[in-house]
Amino acid sequence: MKIDSHQHFWKFDPVRDSWINDDMKVIQRDFMPEDLLTTLKENGLDGCITVQSDQSEVENSFQLNNAEQYDFIKGVVGWVDLQAENVQERLEYYTQFPKLKGFRHVLQGEPQRDFMLRAAFKYGIGLLTKYNFTYDILIFPDQLAYSTEFVAAFPDQPFVVDHIAKPYIKDKKIDDWKKDIKALSQFENVYCKISGMVTEADWKNHSAADFKPYIDVIVEAFGTDRIMYGSDWPVCLVAESYTGVLNLVKDYFSQFSKAEQDKFFGNNAVKFYKI
């Protein structure tokens, strides 16, 4: 099964979705399952994992409703207030939805850069394994060192780093990110999505050569058993078409064995998210 492990749906709201600024006009509109279905079919993919883009439980209902209507949506990564006093009650509630696979918090946007080390946040994370939920780590490179300390506290919790932790591809900075992502990769319960790279590059002027050094680092660090393909559609459209994003990694992995390609393009996501 070929899976896109990271994409989004939304009904565009200029207030709620203020992060989609005027430089991103191409995605200032609705993106719904029927918009993606044709694209996935054209590119030979069987399904996707939908990831939250709004930090509310209303978002969970919206995405789960989509997943209920469309079989190609294999899982949802939602949001829950992990610091709430009733977090255990909310996690228990969400166990009734088989397609709700895990949760994510927009850590990259928190003014407190080590937000993930808050005691209340860690308490919520500590409950996830009890309910068999995964956790997507969305961070910028300056938060990698904190994330290493964070995951060390939860050896049994399945984690996945979104967008290879958003290195500074446009500026061709790699050294600090490389050191820190390799440290994080030492934890066997941490996976990594090779996704979101085109939006960290020069949107108008990039080539495969810009991304190769970064993919090299991830493959060396995580191996082929803990990496997965993600398009970051429709966000990727500000810089590249869906097919362009897919071809970028297809070309890179074309020299790998079929078994390794199958892991990257689906099997690892199936295993991680228990599809």
Question: pTM for the complete prediction?
Answer: 0.96
pLDDT for the residue 50: 98
DSSP 263: I
How far apart are the C-alpha atoms of 139 and 166, rounded to whole Å? Answer: 7
pLDDT for the residue 225: 98
pLDDT for the residue 146: 98
Which range of residues forms the domain containing residue 59?
A: 3-273
pLDDT for the residue 194: 98
Domain count, the chain: 1
39-59 pLDDT, tens digit each: 999 999 999 999 999 999 999
Helix, strand or coil for residue 11? coil
203-255 pLDDT, tens digit each: 999 999 999 999 999 999 999 999 999 999 999 999 999 999 999 999 999 99
Secondary structure element (H or E) that encloses residue 54, with its range: none
**Position 202, amino acid:** D
178-199 pLDDT, tens digit each: 999 999 999 999 999 999 999 9
CATH of the domain at 136: 3.20.20.140
